[in-house]
Amino acid sequence: MSIPTIGVLALQGDVREHLAALAAADAAARPVRRPEELAGLDGLVLPGGESTTISKLAVLFGLMEPVREAIRDGLPVYGTCAGLIMLADKILDPSPGPWGPGETPSSGPETFGGIDMIVRRNAFGRQNESFEASVDVTGIEGGPVEGVFIRAPWVESVGAETRVLAEYDGHVVAVRQGNVMATSFHPELTGDHRVHELFVHTVRTGS
């Protein structure tokens, strides 16, 4: 594969930034808003935004089942922030700490799934508690990447098939299962394209 074609789910969120980062990582990037636009893709990015809104729009635009099927069929997918939530098999409500009364791993929006993990939404705090931090990511050379955390989730737990790629402040913030990877943070907002280059490498090689 020379230059892979990678779609960016363009229902809501920071779509343009991902398109630019993928282009800088030597991929042909295009927005995806309808099921037929999944055809011919070598990979797919799920951007940040608001997971409940993305979930509702995916159902409304008829994309929920086609994306799920594409993931089951082995399409490489990368999700950031809300995209990580959309790739989780199980979701917890935003409140941090131990699960509260009535709180179960099935709380939260309908997701595409694809990664065996339990994710807690908004775990790092509200919008005004957003921050940047250096994160060491397995598979990325040249030192830590700068992670932008905006109402970011974290991963509470992972299954046996899921690899932890990064942690911050004792919490899992990057994972991978097969060809599907996700980060709690936004690398597309920093000008550092190494995370996107890692994903493009996965698309090209399957590893």
Residue 72: is it exposed, middle or buried by C-beta count within 10 angstroms (0-12/13-18/19+)? exposed
Catalytic residue among 188, 193, 196, 197: 188
Q: What is the pLDDT of residue 147?
A: 93
Q: What is the pLDDT of residue 128?
A: 74
Q: What is the pLDDT of residue 1?
A: 61
Catalytic residue among 81, 156, 193, 197: 81
Query: Is position 186 annotated as part of the catalytic site?
Result: yes
Catalytic residue among 17, 18, 186, 193: 186
Query: Is position 81 annotated as part of the catalytic site?
Result: yes
Q: What is the pLDDT of residue 162?
A: 97
Domain that holds residue 127: 5-205
- C-alpha Rg value of the chain to the nearest Å: 15
Q: CA–CA distance from 152 to each of 27, 28, 44, 119, 168 (Å)?
A: 26, 28, 21, 10, 12
Query: For the chain, what is the domain count?
Result: 1
CATH number of residue 134's parent domain: 3.40.50.880
In this structure, how many other beta carbons lie within 10 angstroms of the beta carbon of residue 156?
18
Query: Is position 156 annotated as part of the catalytic site?
Result: no
Q: pLDDT 10s per residue in the chain (207 long)?
A: 689 999 999 999 889 999 999 999 999 999 999 999 999 999 999 999 999 999 999 999 999 999 999 999 999 999 999 999 999 999 986 444 454 455 454 456 799 999 999 999 989 887 777 899 999 999 999 999 999 999 999 999 999 999 999 999 999 999 999 999 999 999 999 999 999 999 999 999 987
